[in-house]
Amino acid sequence: MGRCVYCGERRGFWGKTCGDCKKLLARVEELRGRVGYGEFLDGLAATGVPKEKILVFLKADPEGKGSIQDQVTAEMASELMSVMGLKGNQTPQEVKRIRETTTKESK
């Protein structure tokens, strides 16, 4: 048995993800682009997965495209920019860079 690519816990024999992370992935796809960030987090909590595991899941970047959190934040920022009539598109990598910069500055 291997480890889940999102949370590192044991997973099934065939899959790359554990049952909890499969639930979270399905919920992310269901909510993506349809709700605000607070509702998004509430939707993940509604899966019954423990909060600590949700936080680990959101920070995971198994595909190298940015963490789930950074991907969702980038999509929301890009949509907001579009609604405001601003050109441009936010990327998960740019969100990560901004988050890391602000985290360093607040210490």
Q: Parse the chain into domains and list their residue ranges.
A: 1-60, 63-107
| Spatial separation of the C-alpha atoms in residues 67 and 7, rounded to whole Å | 12
pTM tops 0.85: no
pLDDT of residue 1: 67
The structure tokens 């579009």 sit at 82
pLDDT of residue 13: 77
The predicted-structure confidence for 64-106, as pLDDT tens digits, reads as follows 888 999 999 999 888 888 888 888 888 888 888 888 888 777 7
The structure tokens 């949370």 sit at 7
| Spatial separation of the C-alpha atoms in residues 101 and 16, rounded to whole Å | 32
Confidence of residue 107 (pLDDT cuts 50, 70, 90): low
The predicted-structure confidence for 15-66, as pLDDT tens digits, reads as follows 899 999 999 999 999 998 888 889 999 999 999 999 999 999 999 999 888 8
